[in-house]
Amino acid sequence: MADQRTVRRTAGIVAGLLIALVFLLVIVPGALAIGLKLLGIIDASYARSALRLTVPIAFAGMGGIFAEKSGVINIGLEGLLIISAFSAIAVMWFIGGGGTGARMIALFGGVLASLVVTLLFAIICIEFKADQIIAGLAVWLIALGFAPFGSIVIWETVNSDSVGSFDSLAMPLLSDVPYVGDVLFTATPPVFLMLAAVPFSWYLLNRTAFGKHLQASGEDPRTLDTAGVSVRKVRYMGVLLSGLYCGIGGAGLALNAGQFAGGGETITSGRGWIGLTTYLIANYNPVGAFLASFGFAGLDALQLQIQGVPGVELSSTLIEIIPYVAVLVVLAFVGKTRMPESAGEHYESEE
């Protein structure tokens, strides 16, 4: 798999990120000095917090791959994160109590809510042949309106009450591995789910019949149809998988924080959009999408920690620009991202 093209691509992405960093250094006065100070921040707790912040981005990114590979562009990822984040907290609040078990039920509730909205989106796009971009935007806008509204109904303000967050669990044996164990295997359930989802997604896409059908459906649905596989079913599965992933991502984000914040861009603050950029950067490879998510989350975590460093003032908006600059650089200069041939196009089986 690690052929020359992949290597070149990776090199290009690293270059892209470096260019983005230089861009940052140039526009922020005194950035170099800050950079040196920041090096001191990076430690195990920083890595853990970065990993936690990766959850929503990586799930949105990996989920988006399934939908788009099947030929349905799902730009509603951000909306699905919001819906599931809100629903998970609401479920948590209603069942009350603490404990990891209750939180898993809340997570499941978030996933369910995301799946319902996704199913609606899928029906609109596949059965009624709506424009996928517009339908995706609608998902986001509806979520952006509905979640804070729901919050007000339940808690009388756009922000929910605090319901407590996931506790870190230590995986037996694995957590004792030096360095890695502390970061990767002492974490919250959503982080574990994410770490499992990365190889799972890769295998599903590349080593199963379903993955091949997914790819064929996005490239040339007619061929798949004539091969005797229902394009409709494959596309439903692809889109619903994106809903499942966003559900875990959004619920995981909220339950890691223990609260739903509904002001402005809400608690997700654009992470679904960043997820969208990660799989474009990674050319639809879930492993790459995860790594890109981790990179962006790392910057995000950095930005949070910088607030605590005296004498450094860095606008968080500038940090937030980085993923978009990086995606522009990658698309423009590395340029090997190839969308599925029929992505965004409706398919109508003949009779």
Q: Which residues bind other proteins (CB under 8 A)?
A: 203, 207-209, 211-213, 215-216, 219-220, 222-229, 338, 341, 350-351
Q: Which is nearer to other proteins, 94 or 203 (CB)?
A: 203
Q: Which is nearer to other proteins, 238 or 250 (CB)?
A: 238
- At residue 186, what are phi and psi to the nearest 5 degrees? -120, 90
Q: Which is nearer to other proteins, 226 or 316 (CB)?
A: 226
Contact criterion met (CB below 8 Å) for 13 and 280:
no
Q: What's the CA gap between 281 and 273, in Å, rounded?
A: 13
Q: Which is nearer to other proteins, 156 or 350 (CB)?
A: 350
Euclidean distance between the first and the last CA atom of the chain, given in angstroms as a whole number = 39
Which residues have CB under 8 Å from 153's CB, separation 6+?
none
Q: Which is nearer to other proteins, 127 or 341 (CB)?
A: 341
Least Å distance, CB 231 to other proteins, is: 11
Least Å distance, CB 339 to other proteins, is: 11
Q: Which is nearer to other proteins, 27 or 196 (CB)?
A: 196
Q: Amino acid identity, residue 90? A: A
Question: Three-state DSSP class for 170?
Answer: strand
Least Å distance, CB 228 to other proteins, is: 3
- Radius of gyration, alpha carbons of the chain: 20
Least Å distance, CB 70 to other proteins, is: 13
The tokens describing 25, both together, are: 């250094």
The tokens describing 243, both together, are: 């809903």
Residue reference for tokens 């694995």: 174
Q: Which is nearer to other proteins, 48 or 69 (CB)?
A: 69
The tokens describing 144, both together, are: 């952006």
Least Å distance, CB 348 to other proteins, is: 13
Which residues have CB under 8 Å from 118's CB, separation 6+?
74, 76, 80, 239, 240, 242, 243, 244, 246
* Residue 101: Cβ within 10 Å count: 10
Least Å distance, CB 209 to other proteins, is: 4
Least Å distance, CB 207 to other proteins, is: 5
How far apart, in Å, are the Cα atoms of 317 and each of 61, 207, 272, 287, 320?
21, 40, 16, 27, 5
